[in-house]
Structure 1
Amino acid sequence: METSIIVLIVMTCVGLVFGFVLAFANKKFAMEVNPLIEIVEDVLPKGQCGSCGYAGCKAYAEAVVSNPDVPPNLCIPGKDVVAKQVAELTGKAAEETEPRISHVKCKGCSDKATRSYNYEGIQDCVAASLLQGGPKVCSHGCLGFGTCVKNCPFDAMTLGENGLPIIDENKCTGCGKCETVCPKHVIEMLPISSHVTVNCNSKDKGAVVRKACTVGCLGCGLCKRNCPHEAIVIENNLAVVNHSICAEKCDNPTCIAKCPTKAIQSLVGDVKPVVEAAKQEIAANTENKTNAENKDKPEN
């Protein structure tokens, strides 16, 4: 009994000594935190998507406040509104960036794409891709198990009945989280000014694609030959659109009508609400900035 009491007293004393040592060390070596970091963090959308290149909003807030070389417009989900607020808080200049939107480069749904076997494992694209590349004959297509949907921090994606992700253009912030988690690299981030896109990700030759999917790109080059602005090239048997040239010069995408499998489709109708909202947002920001500048001008 006495031994137990002695042990208890010794352990208590040791705990107190270590407690005082830690308290002293904490006070002695404590680093002051710039209060501006928390203010900037509160401005950010808190999606923790990592699109800025940092491990979460807190890390980006610390970097943009502490490092003069870190620009204030790296928060893609926050768009120009957040960029301007961060710029004002940090005393930096924020260049306007065009909003992006997520796009799935595959239309090979259950009735369009051929399957090589029935998969009954873990319902996850990464897990399914480890088994012979997945159950689809096309080794480049969307596997349809919703890994992108589960990882979207803004609930902007759902899995359709046809096994392909559906993107809510009004919720999508263009953060790119879905793009990074897709094992097949089927998802891309497009500028909202894009007119057309290729709904295929296959790098196989046309004969192989035709057997695997009825809506895949054959790499035939008809779209390229019929584009008067040279905005389309064929790379690795796949049509690739230069969206900058397409948005700037093309108002009548003839490539859509020429594509034999309809792998090229228009994006104008899909993202029109987002484009209009972005334009209104930029116009409002410009007007507010002009009003603020006029207010600060001294009266004659």
Structure 2
Amino acid sequence: MNTSILILIVMTAIGLCFGLILAFGNKKLAIEMNPLIHIVEDALPKGQCGACGYAGCLAYAEAVVLDPDVPPNMCIPGKEKVAKIVAELTGKTAEAVEPRIAQVKCAGSHAKAVINYNYDGVQDCVAANLLLGGPKSCKYGCLGLATCVKNCPFDAMTMSPDGLPVIDPNKCTGCGKCETVCPRHVISMLNLKAHVRVNCNSKDKGPVAKKACTVACIGCSRCAKDCQYGAIKIENNLAVVDTHVCLEKCDNATCLAKCPTGAIKPAVFGIVPGTEGQESIDAICKVCAPEAKTTPPPAM
């Protein structure tokens, strides 16, 4: 018999042998997955954002089905609707999920922020931040290179011509992905019903912050002193608003009128930070409406 044919027969026999062994082992050692896991996964938005704390939707579905201690409301993008579905499927109780949206804590556009040098490197905020802290004089402001926009799993962010991200309130799920990729920590999650927000992230002292950006918070404490409910505090030279206190108690946001640089603005979503118009300020000062405000007012 030809040697090559003999080799072919032997190799085929060995292959069949190993194939049968693997098939037998696969059948005997197979781990059956609870079919409910895939049903729960199908109910999730499939953003794979990791906001739930698990490595993707399948991982969370498996955890919420198999672990009685994992709550059904951990899918932030799915909000209350998905939480109720997951709760019904798993027989658990879903607590209310606070609606939230991404906010850019910076109004330092090209026209308002001082630029130290022209950056011509990789168009990525993380890369620019490694080069002397980026081109902006303010070391806490938005670098405007769209890293957050590129990483948004729900296509809810765009870059404005002014070099600042704009969040679409109709698409943003509050998953927090943009918050995690920003090297300056300029983005944070804000309650969707918030009255006011601080469009600044600078921790520098007043004179330094104002020199770097004309609309920076200078930590003057006027807003904090004027707020009779104690909803605003100055931390590290920056005004910080307790949204829960503001929502529960405030019906006259006088802090907006007292800010000398305009760092505090009405929480109007869907527009470039810092372009909130006087009409919005007047409306908020008159009555703090509890509903989210998404209609862009005329720019000042």
TM > 0.5: yes
Aligned partners of 2:5 and 2:146: how far apart in 1?
59
Structure 1 residue aligned with 2:205: 205
1:37-84 CA-to-partner distances (Å, cap 9, x unmatched) read 111111111111111111111111000000000000001111111101
Q: Which residue is equivalent to 2:248?
A: 248
Mapping for residues 1-300 of structure 1, pairs under 5 Å: 2-267=2-267, 275=292
- Which is further off, 179-188 or 9-18? 9-18
Aligned residue-pair number: 277
SS of 1:122's partner is coil
Counterpart-to-counterpart distance in 2, 1:215 and 1:107: 7
Q: What is the CA–CA distance in structure 1 between the aligned matches of 2:186 and 2:160, rounded to whole Å?
A: 16
Q: 1:221 to 1:276 in 2, by over 3 A?
A: closer
- For residues 293 and 139 of structure 2, the distance between their equivalents in structure 1, rounded to whole angstroms, comes to 37
Query: d(CA) in 2 for partners of 1:2 and 1:126?
Result: 65
Q: Residue 123 of structure 2 contacts residue 145 of structure 2 at CA under 8 Å; is this kept in 1?
A: yes
TM-score (ref. length: structure 1): 0.88
CA distance in 1, matches of 2:242, 2:290: 22
Contact 2:104/2:188, CA 8 A, preserved across alignment: yes
The 3 A distance-change label for structure 1 pair 5 and 141 is farther
How many Å apart are 1:23 and its aligned residue?
1.4
State the alpha-carbon separation in 2 of the partners of residues 96 and 275 from structure 1: 18
Q: Measured at CA, do residues 21 and 213 of structure 1 come closer, stay the same or move farther in structure 2, by a change above 3 Å?
A: same
Is the Cα–Cα contact under 8 Å of residues 170 and 274 in structure 1 kept in the other structure?
no
Give, in angstroms, the shift of residue 21 of structure 1: 2.1
Shift of 1:2: 4.6
Deviations 1:238-260 (A, max 9, x none): 11000000111112111111111
In the aligned structure 2, how far is the partner of 1:96 from the partner of 1:142? Answer: 32
Distance 2:189 2:172 in 1: 10
- The offset of 1:35, in angstroms, is 0.7
| Offset of residue 274 of structure 1 | 7.4
- Partners in 2 of 1:182 and 1:13 — Cα distance? 58
1:173 partner SS? coil
Deviation (angstroms), 1:5 = 3.9
- Distance in structure 2 (CA, Å) of the matches to 1:227 and 1:196: 12
- Separation in 2, partners of 1:276, 1:235: 27
Question: How far off its partner does 1:12 sit?
Answer: 2.9
Deviates more, 1:244-253 or 1:7-16: 7-16
Q: Which has the higher helix share?
A: 1
Structure 1 contact 170–273 (Cα < 8 Å) conserved = no
Whole-angstrom CA distance in 2 between matches of 1:17 and 1:130: 57
Unmatched tracts of structure 1, length 5 or more: 278-300
Over 3 Å counting, the alpha-carbon distance change for 1:6 and 1:214 in structure 2 is farther
SS of aligned partner of 1:240: strand
Is the 1:224–1:231 contact (alpha carbons within 8 Å) kept by the matching residues of 2? yes
Deviations 1:259-287 (A, max 9, x none): 1110000115769897499xxxxxxxxxx
The letter of the residue matching 1:55 is A
Report the AA paired with residue 259 of structure 2.
C
Letter in 2 for 1:124: D
CA distance in 2, matches of 1:217, 1:142: 14
**TM-score with structure 2 length normalisation?**
0.88
Paired-residue identity, %:
68
Structure 2 gap ranges (5+): 272-288, 295-300
Question: What code does the residue aligned with 1:236 have?
Answer: N
Question: Quick one: structure 1 residues 182 and 39, their matched pair in 2 at CA, closer, same or farther if it must change by over 3 Å?
Answer: same
SS of 2:127 mapped into structure 1: helix
Question: Partners of 2:2 and 2:213 in 1: how far apart?
Answer: 82
